[in-house]
Amino acid sequence: MTASPASPEELIAALDGVGYLADEGVATAGFLALRMRRPLFCEGEPGTGKTSLALALAEGLGLPLVRLQCHEGIDAAQALYEWDFPRQLLHLRALEAAEGGRLDADTAERSLYTERFLLARPLLQALTSAPCVLLVDEIDRADDEFEAFLLQLLDEYAVTIPEYGEIRAEQPPLVVLTSNRTREVHDALKRRCLYHWLEHPDLPREIRILRRRVPGLGETLARQVAEAVHRLRDLELLKPPGTAESLDWARALLALDRDELDAATAARTLGAVLKYSEDLDRVRAKLDVLFA
């Protein structure tokens, strides 16, 4: 791990060095999560840079990243650990063959439940490889039971495996939880975290992001793309474009050797920035106004 930043300003510089342009709010939240050893709960619209923040923190701080992608129906076994049953079965057969069929049950059982046969999933990996950054992505997609399980783990940074014993992190990982707010996450989990709501970047910062992340993108085209995306976000779209879509649009324009964005070019490339047919129809009907 690189030296821990001594201030939010130093964290801004560290993130800037890996291509993430953080504002003061994001940097302060990240700095406090590091200093206070508290999980950081990042909530916001899709495409505001929540996941990218965790990736940048890991890279900027020189820490390994462990990622848990949440989904409906995820359970503790998928997130924490499993036993490698096929290898355990082969091990039993090998022991039986070596002992000529005379296998001591207690000895065999003890040999089965060792680290050799333990398959660590992301949460257990984070406990055993800390210091690291643990990204729990889209926690709002998981169900209440998993959220309660995660709550207990974050309280103690330890887990007890019945057949193996307790595993406790020597140093708590830096935990970043993200949510697109498809449902409300319980207050009990939020209380244990520092909270930060991520907004879409303002126009100057979005232009800087585009120039930084898209090599060869000129100032004029970067400004036109950023301005157009900001106008699209003001419309009542099913899926307003995020920063990822801004970047895709800029790359698409460069791939077409365009150096400016007009209504005709926008009509041909809207699929890079809008992902619903209803949104495409709504914007195409207003292209002359949007790009006047």
Share in percent of the chain as helix, strand, coil (round to 5):
50, 15, 35
| Residue 198 · residue 44 · CB < 8 Å | yes
Count, residues in the chain: 292
pLDDT at 2: 56
Burial environment of residue 166 by CB neighbours within 10 A (0 to 12, 13 to 18, 19 or more):
exposed
How far out from the chain centre does Cα 157 lie?
A: 20
Residues of the chain with pLDDT below 50 are: none
pTM score above 0.75? yes
Residue 76 has a pLDDT of: 85
pLDDT recorded at residue 220: 95
Give the 3-state secondary structure of residue 110. Answer: helix
Contacts of 68 (CB under 8 A, 6+ apart): 79, 121, 122, 123, 134, 135, 136, 137
CATH 3.40.50.620 for the 8-77+119-198 domain, yes or no: no
Confidence (pLDDT) at 269: 95
Cα 7 to its chain centre, rounded Å, is 23
Closest C-alpha to 272, from 235, 213, 232: 232
